A and B are shown apart, each in its own frame.
Chain A
């Protein structure tokens, strides 16, 4: 399974949606994921890919990890995998 498919699966599970309902352009807010849901999703992603995501809930905008859309999250994870697994 690709990184993209796996991330969509994790986000869909958090949002209690079908994977087909989650598009790359979706924002987490549109999917009904609140701040606690976001922290849970990040945990699930870290566990799945064995990476560490720099994310502080107090300053989500300042993080290098862009959570504005599903696509930006996937790109961020691919970057972190490349950095942390190299």
Chain B
């Protein structure tokens, strides 16, 4: 078994177009959620989201690339470029042959589906662009990353709704840990902020019309976001040998399945995933200083998650910090665990705990230190990142300071 470290990070999300801007926004407790801006938004009852603004494909990608890149692929490639650039790695020879890319997304090219359904159903066209399928497929982003950076090892895409990125990163971690690959590019992305994407979510009646307020007694639902987070997972010896700047260690992970309900969360499933991650990372519960919560801001998730944390950590639950950065960047669905991993890295590396903003009223069912509204300076050695998906599929990562 090899130790695994992160040597590069990249992102595009509502808080910023790179890691520095995103972490600055998290430190300042800035909200990236605002009015949605796209065609037919006036026909939606939910009109807010963590939309990425000012990210233009034109100028960034050429005409041929743009005809192949859905917005979720565009975000992914920008984040991958930043992450791999930071790592200083170039992939050739044996390194290229063994290194791969595993990304998470729930919906893949949702904007491409939406635009082309419009053309054939609404506008009555009988012909679509030849690249509709390669543009919308869930593995398009991973494929383009592999082509752009010459990654020829194990590569695929994971779809487990809101836990997609965490499941993807757990797989990448496992491959580096077992020695199957020296380096894996991992993370995830999502872009379903379009008419059809938001309309589908509206139907479930769990979306907030005004704000995402995780753990606050007056929370009234989730708010969608969009973007990508991409990381370079590298064999520790490989990273050390080349003198790489190491951001943190990936110490362990666990996955669990509730096997109970298609949308309602389960305390038992969440607890088992957190417990499993601690065991896998070989850390005691009282070593964990911070948890980046799934924290969707729905009535059901937040109380279930807090009850699970109380079960797993016992008295230590009152000493650790837990926050939901979804309050700032929204819920990136399949990309959310990846963007939230940035808050974990910031906690370990910079000693800054990202806050849960929008927090207004204590909820006795969420009676933990949720780092309300303002970031906090604190030294932590071990952190967890939770993701609990619709379908009852959970994945928790454990990271350690290095």
**Which of A's residues lie within 8 Å of B, judged by CB?**
35-36, 39, 42-43, 52, 55-59, 62
Cα distance A56–B208 in the bound complex, in angstroms: 8
B220 touches A59 (CB 8 A): yes
Across-interface contacts of A62 in B (CB, < 8 A): 220
B204 touches A58 (CB 8 A): no
Tell me if B221 is interfacial: C-beta within 8 Å of chain A.
yes
Across-interface contacts of B205 in A (CB, < 8 A): 39, 42, 55-57
Across-interface contacts of B204 in A (CB, < 8 A): 39, 57
Across-interface contacts of A39 in B (CB, < 8 A): 203-205
Task: Specify the chain B residue showing the minimal Cβ separation from A35.
Answer: B264
**Which of B's residues lie within 8 Å of A, judged by CB?**
45, 203-209, 219-221, 262-264, 298-300
Across-interface contacts of B219 in A (CB, < 8 A): 58
B263 touches A56 (CB 8 A): no
Cα distance A62–B204 in the bound complex, in angstroms: 17
Q: From B203, B206, B264, give the contact of A58 (CB < 8 A).
A: B206
Across-interface contacts of B206 in A (CB, < 8 A): 56-58
Q: Is the interface of B mostly helix, strand, loop or mixed?
A: loop
Q: A39-B205, A43-B203 are in contact. Are A58 and B263 (CB under 8 A)?
A: no
Q: Could you tell me the distance in whole angstroms from the C-beta of A6 to the nearest C-beta in chain B?
A: 21
27 sample A-B contacts, Cβ–Cβ < 8 Å, listed by A number:
A35-B264, A36-B262, A36-B263, A39-B203, A39-B204, A39-B205, A43-B203, A52-B45, A55-B205, A56-B206, A56-B207, A56-B208, A56-B209, A56-B220, A56-B221, A57-B204, A57-B205, A57-B206, A57-B221, A58-B208, A58-B219, A58-B220, A58-B221, A58-B299, A58-B300, A59-B220, A59-B299
Cα distance A66–B208 in the bound complex, in angstroms: 19
Q: Is the interface of A mostly helix, strand, loop or mixed?
A: loop
Q: Could you tell me the distance in whole angstroms from the C-beta of A83 to the nearest C-beta in chain B?
A: 17
Across-interface contacts of A59 in B (CB, < 8 A): 220, 299
Which one of B45, B205, B208, B300 has the greatest number of beta carbons of chain A within 10 Å?
Answer: B205
Cα distance A39–B263 in the bound complex, in angstroms: 12
Task: Specify the chain B residue showing the minimal Cβ separation from A57.
Answer: B205
B203 touches A57 (CB 8 A): no
Across-interface contacts of B262 in A (CB, < 8 A): 36
Q: Could you tell me the distance in whole angstroms from the C-beta of B33 to the nearest C-beta in chain A?
A: 16
Q: Could you tell me the distance in whole angstroms from the C-beta of B115 to the nearest C-beta in chain A?
A: 26
Cα distance A6–B53 in the bound complex, in angstroms: 46
Task: Specify the chain A residue showing the minimal Cβ separation from B207.
Answer: A56
Across-interface contacts of A43 in B (CB, < 8 A): 203
Which one of A35, A55, A58, A62 has the greatest number of beta carbons of chain B within 10 Å?
Answer: A58
Q: Could you tell me the distance in whole angstroms from the C-beta of A34 to the nearest C-beta in chain B?
A: 8
Q: Could you tell me the distance in whole angstroms from the C-beta of B297 to the nearest C-beta in chain A?
A: 8
Cα distance A36–B205 in the bound complex, in angstroms: 10
Across-interface contacts of A35 in B (CB, < 8 A): 264
Task: Specify the chain A residue showing the minimal Cβ separation from B261.
Answer: A36
Across-interface contacts of B207 in A (CB, < 8 A): 56
Across-interface contacts of B221 in A (CB, < 8 A): 56-58
Task: Specify the chain A residue showing the minimal Cβ separation from B206.
Answer: A57
Which one of B209, B219, B299 has the greatest number of beta carbons of chain A within 10 Å?
Answer: B299
Q: Could you tell me the distance in whole angstroms from the C-beta of A44 to the nearest C-beta in chain B?
A: 12
Q: Could you tell me the distance in whole angstroms from the C-beta of A55 to the nearest C-beta in chain B?
A: 6
Q: With A56-B207, A58-B219 given, can you name 19 additional A-B contacts, CB distance below 8 Å? A: A36-B262, A36-B264, A39-B203, A39-B204, A42-B205, A52-B45, A56-B208, A56-B220, A56-B221, A57-B205, A57-B298, A57-B299, A58-B206, A58-B208, A58-B298, A58-B299, A59-B220, A59-B299, A62-B220
Cα distance A52–B205 in the bound complex, in angstroms: 12
Q: Which 9 A-B pairs have the closest CB atoms?
A: A58-B299, A57-B205, A58-B221, A58-B220, A59-B220, A39-B205, A57-B206, A58-B298, A56-B220
